[in-house]
Amino acid sequence: MTRLELAKQLAREAGEIVLGYAKKGFTTGTKDGGSLVTEADLAAEKHILGKIKQHFPDDGIVAEESGERKGESGVSWHVDPLDGTTNFAHGIPLYGVSIGIVEGNRPVAGAIFLPSLDELYDAQRGTGTRLNGSSIVVSQLGEAASGIIMLAGPRFVDSVKDDELPLQKIIARIRRIRVLGSIAVNLCFVARGAADGGICVRQNSWDAAAGVVLVEEAGGVAVEFSGRPYTIESSNLLVGSRDVASFLKTLV
């Protein structure tokens, strides 16, 4: 079994775990910093990490709830078992399981499963991006200002207040923006062309590593506000076609 095959399998299995909790109920707690965490997050992550350690024991792991485990292979897995926990906890069906595979500091493969939509996205360098097995591409919209642009950040309101996301400047130039509460969902929608581009701030590697590969292999770009290519150390992110990303760079 390849790493991507395992990532796809685990994303779907973890998504089924999450849906199980959505049906039967769950307890919710608060992490340092105020973020929510549920039984579903913890159970899904435990399942994912156990299988990774079983199949690829020398790989590193960076997981939202469990922290980091150093590896010896040069490959690391960046895992968010439930991106969009606040949506999930409030019954909003916009959340996903995100599993990115990284070599050095650049994502090389990944899978994201959106359980409520039954959508499994996967990509690997050089092979394109797929949604439930069918190839997808980013939007080719020529006039970015008229497109749909997704905004995201784990602390969205704080990011606007601190002007990391200059909202007034953005809405003065863009007609349609969406804030869905999940970076993984945003990146999936950009990868399949449902949204034309996206701006993310304060993301962690487990939020974005898988989605970045989806966007890039679907024909888009994923760059920092500076224009440098995304790495797992990046704290901000622009995604979309090359033209859209260039336009978004003028707004941040």
Q: Out of 5-14, 71-80, 160-169, 209-218, which region has the weakest mean confidence (pLDDT)?
A: 160-169
**Helical residues (DSSP H) of 56-163, grouped into ranges:** 85-89, 156-161
Taking alpha carbons only, the member of 91, 134, 148, 90 closest to residue 116 is 91
**Considering just the CA atoms, what is the radius of gyration of the chain in Å?**
17
**What was the pLDDT predicted at 145?**
81
Taking alpha carbons only, the member of 221, 145, 141 closest to residue 177 is 145
Please report which confidence band the pLDDT of residue 157 belongs to, taking 50, 70 and 90 as the band edges. low
Q: What percent of the chain has pLDDT over 70?
A: 94
Please report which confidence band the pLDDT of residue 25 belongs to, taking 50, 70 and 90 as the band edges. confident
Angle between helices 39-55 and 3-24 (to 10 degrees): 160
**What was the pLDDT predicted at 162?**
64
**What was the pLDDT predicted at 167?**
79
What are the Cα distances from residue 203, in Å, to 54, 57, 234?
A: 28, 27, 8
Question: Please, what are the domains in the chain?
Answer: 3-136 (3.30.540.10), 144-249 (3.40.190.80)
Q: Which position has the higher pLDDT, 169 or 165?
A: 169
**Residue 159 predicted with pLDDT over 70:** no
Mean pLDDT of the chain: 92
* pTM for this model (two decimals): 0.94
**What was the pLDDT predicted at 30?**
76
How far is it, in rounded angstroms, from Cα 7 to Cα 109? 9
Please report which confidence band the pLDDT of residue 34 belongs to, taking 50, 70 and 90 as the band edges. low
Please report which confidence band the pLDDT of residue 27 belongs to, taking 50, 70 and 90 as the band edges. confident
**What was the pLDDT predicted at 156?**
65
Please report which confidence band the pLDDT of residue 175 belongs to, taking 50, 70 and 90 as the band edges. confident
